[in-house]
Structure 1
C-alpha cells in the first residue's frame, strides 16, 4: 500500500518487507498497508489512517522474564499489557519490557516496527484472546509505516502462539 496524497489515507503497495516475503514463501494470503512514519506514531493513529477499529490493530511487545527468558506478546493497540497476566501466561513470576536499545540486536526489529514474524530467534509468543473475535487482525510488517492483515489461523502457520487474556 502507498499513501494516497490527496485523501491522506493508506493504500496498497508492492514494496515487500521481510515479513511479506516470509508470508509469500508460505503462500499465506495477506493484505499489506503503508503510510509515512510521521503520520502514525501509535496503533490508534494507524487505525485512523486505515479506517478500522483500533482493537483490530495489534502491537508486538517483547519482554524478559525473571528467568532471563524472552517472550513476545501481541495485544490490541488500544490496550495495555497486564504484566502479571503476561507473566502468569508463560509461567514466570514476573516479566518486564525489553529496553528499546536491546530490541534490534535481539529481534532484528526496531521499536514501532516489531513483528512476531521473522524475528532473529524463535520466542514463546502469546496473543491476546481478543484476536479471536476478528476474522483478521492487523500488525507490523516489520518496518515502521508497514502493516499486514491476516487471520490468526494464518499467523499460526508461521508463528507458534497461544491465546490468553493478557491486557489490563
Structure 2
C-alpha cells in the first residue's frame, strides 16, 4: 500500500529530482531510537538501514555521515576526509536547531542547510538502502546512487 501521509522534506527533495523511493512505516519507541532498533521494528536488514550521524569539528563546521546501522564512524577517517584536527558528535541539544531534525528522525536529506555529506561506500553493495525519511517511524527505500545525487554526497570509506 502506498504511503498517504504528509510528505517530509526528504520526500519532497526526492520528488523534485524525480527519484524513485518507497516509504516504510514502523513502530518506534522513545527508549530505542537507534537505527538497529528501527531496522528490527521495520523488519529490515540492519546492513541496509543507514543511520545519519552529524558531527562538528573544532572550527564548528558541521559534517554529515550516513552509514550502516551497526557500524561506527572512524574518527581518524572522518578527520582525514574533512581535513579537521578534532571531530565530535554534535550535541543532542543542538541537533534540532542545526539540522531541523530530532534524534531517531534525522535524514541526510532536507536539513536546514546543506552540510558536506559522506555516504559510506558499503552502500554500493546493495541495490537499495533505507534512510530516515526525516520523521520517527518512517524509512525511505532508495538506491545508493540516487541518495548520493540527492544529498550531494561523497561515497567514502569512514567506518
Q: TM-score, normalised by structure 2?
A: 0.91
RMSD: 1.6
- Counterpart of 1:87 (choices 73, 79, 85) is 79
Runs of 4+ with deviation above 3 angstroms = none
Equivalence map 1:17-166=2 (5 Å): 17-38=8-29, 41-166=33-158
CA distance in 2, matches of 1:68, 1:42: 25
Q: Distance in 2 between matches of 1:50 and 1:110?
A: 19
Once the two structures are TM-superposed, the CA of residue 157 in structure 1 deviates from its matched residue by: 2.6
TM-score, normalised to structure 1's length? 0.86
For the residues of structure 2 that align with 1:41 and 1:106, how far apart are their CA atoms?
Answer: 19
SS at match of 1:157: helix
Give the drift of 1:156. Answer: 2.5
Q: Is the 8 A contact 1:116 1:159 kept in 2?
A: yes
SS of the equivalent of 1:104 reads helix
Task: For 2:148 and 2:29, locate their aligned partners in 1 and report how far apart those are by CA, in whole Å.
Answer: 31
* Paired position in structure 2 for 1:9: none
How many pairs does the alignment contain? 157
Structure 1 portions without partners, runs of 5+ = 2-11
Contact 1:84 / 1:94 at 8 angstroms: preserved in 2? Answer: no
SS in 2 for 1:55: coil
- Cα distance in 2 for partners of 1:159, 1:19 equals 9
1:58–1:137 Cα contact (<8 Å) kept:
yes
Q: Shift in Å at residue 45 of structure 1? A: 2.1
Cα offset for 1:51? 2.7
